[in-house]
Chain A
């Protein structure tokens, strides 16, 4: 695994414009960065990332199985009681999942260590599935990269296929897509998913989360009063379950993407549960609930809120004192503690690997860099290749 400097494509901004990639630069800071790329060997990809990703996902599903059968665990996961049964129901019918992203610390050797599972609302999907794919294509076409250079990235292909599967499962071919207003990045991610679903032959109307309505039969509606049968929402379950319309979620009989049972996986309480169930697994870091943290024998630990996005409210503790922290609005539902394992550094950058799953199949990786040990939403995205 190397970080190699690279000549940015001369016309890439223009290209981004024509493909609708509008968040490559934000607040004057580059987000998409093609002045360098990461190079992996096929063995590193398959043995150290792809296989563990598939295995860890299966381990996560075993945790779901445990949690949905145990009310005490549901409570530990801070899931509101009215959703315990519906979550179990959605798991029991195996309501289909679309995608997830596992975040790993990995430096090219040894075992990739799992930081967390973004199972409900992962972003950086468009950059991964499409934009870095196009980058490689262009680089190869212009002879700046070897013809046999490959990329671990079958995201788009798999997403299209999984949309077709989900449509079949629900016997539904109109999928609504939603995200919040005023966020270019989320809108771009959702547009990409709409494009993939459209490739699968579906109708893909869009509605903002804030515009969703409820009709007299208790079904959700879009801004044009069309009933919503199936909804992809880039909006966290833990928010929806606690908001005003949360009480209609169950009776509305909406087909949800991601399904309700993903609330168990997109929850940091997953990490101590994984450690309890698969203690010593080489891809896991020791992790503990608040009342068990005395079992953690590592002097340096990371404290993470049960619900958190993009590194917000994460702090690094050295002998119980805060060594580094990122502020944010999360934490009221409690914290978990994970043994500290630093991100590897490449040319002064801290590098985080996101490993994608579509349903239960590994589907590619994304590489993000940050100048800080805690990767936040202003980290940069770099493309990668497989060679050798």
Chain B
């Protein structure tokens, strides 16, 4: 008999009562799970020179990946309206101003980059790494990714990571304006009391 309904629904996944609310930022999957077999070696270098010194035969890849990581850092790194806010999170002189048409904002300097699969010049992976020198930050002297994953102490450079550690992080922007959607609802809601209405705008 062919069934006309969904064969299986995972009820535990559908329960809401005890499921904690998803946390805002800084939560990514755990890459460092010791049991995963698809993990690969990855190393954090402070800059292209450090990478080249360790891998002279891959100097070109070190350079290219560094440039790419810098670009990625600017796209995905945290952005602040004021220097003080940025320095309070990342430490004195750890932030730089970015000029754009609509004004300027501040970002932490890239502290290093993680590189994986370096031996393959066309299929290497990279991602920018940040760190904090601020006494006010719980990330002080720790390696951080753009989306807030904490890789641990700054002195540790070699890691086993799952491939998705290098997945592109979402772009962090500076929003210049909000609230440009939703006005029709306000207008349509004000015509009357819609007594007993559930007030949804679906259909």
With A130-B9, A210-B181 known as contacts, the answer to whether A227 contacts B171 (CB < 8 A) is: yes
* A226 touching B171, Cβ below 8 Å: yes
* A195 touching B198, Cβ below 8 Å: no
Within 8 A of B (CB), among A98-145: 118, 120-123, 129-130, 133-134, 136
From B190, which residue of chain A is reached at the shortest CB distance? A329
* Interface check A69, CB cutoff 8 A: no
With A23-B198, A183-B199, A184-B198 known as contacts, the answer to whether A244 contacts B180 (CB < 8 A) is: yes
Interface centre among B172, B181, B191, B198 (most CB of A within 10 A): B181
By a CB distance below 8 angstroms, the chain B residues around A208 are: 182
* B6 touching A29, Cβ below 8 Å: no
* Interface check A45, CB cutoff 8 A: yes
What is the bound-complex CA distance between A152 and B181, given in angstroms? 36
* Interface check B15, CB cutoff 8 A: yes
* B173 touching A219, Cβ below 8 Å: yes
What is the bound-complex CA distance between A58 and B198, given in angstroms? 32
With A150-B3, A224-B25 known as contacts, the answer to whether A215 contacts B203 (CB < 8 A) is: no
* Interface check B101, CB cutoff 8 A: yes
* Interface check A360, CB cutoff 8 A: no
Mark the stretch among A4-12, A234-242, A293-301 that contacts chain B: A234-242
With A183-B199, A245-B181, A329-B188 known as contacts, the answer to whether A151 contacts B5 (CB < 8 A) is: yes
By a CB distance below 8 angstroms, the chain A residues around B4 are: 42, 45, 150-154, 364, 386
* A189 touching B25, Cβ below 8 Å: no
From B195, which residue of chain A is reached at the shortest CB distance? A27
Mark the stretch among A14-22, A89-97, A283-291, A344-352 that contacts chain B: A14-22
Count contacts on A: residues with CB < 8 A to the other chain.
82
* Closest chain A CB from B27 CB (angstroms): 10
* B201 touching A183, Cβ below 8 Å: yes
Pairs A-B, 9 closest by C-beta atoms: A20-B16, A245-B180, A123-B202, A213-B175, A215-B173, A239-B184, A227-B171, A244-B180, A210-B182
Q: Using CB atoms and an 8 Å cutoff, list the residues of chain B in contact with chain A.
A: 1, 3-7, 9-11, 13-17, 22, 24-25, 79, 100-102, 167, 170-185, 187-189, 191-192, 194, 196-203
Q: Using CB atoms and an 8 Å cutoff, list the residues of chain A in contact with chain B.
A: 17-20, 23, 26-27, 29, 31, 42, 45, 118, 120-123, 129-130, 133-134, 136, 148, 150-157, 173-174, 179-186, 189, 195, 198-199, 205, 208-217, 219, 221, 224-227, 229, 234-236, 239-240, 242-245, 248, 309-310, 327-330, 364, 377-378, 386
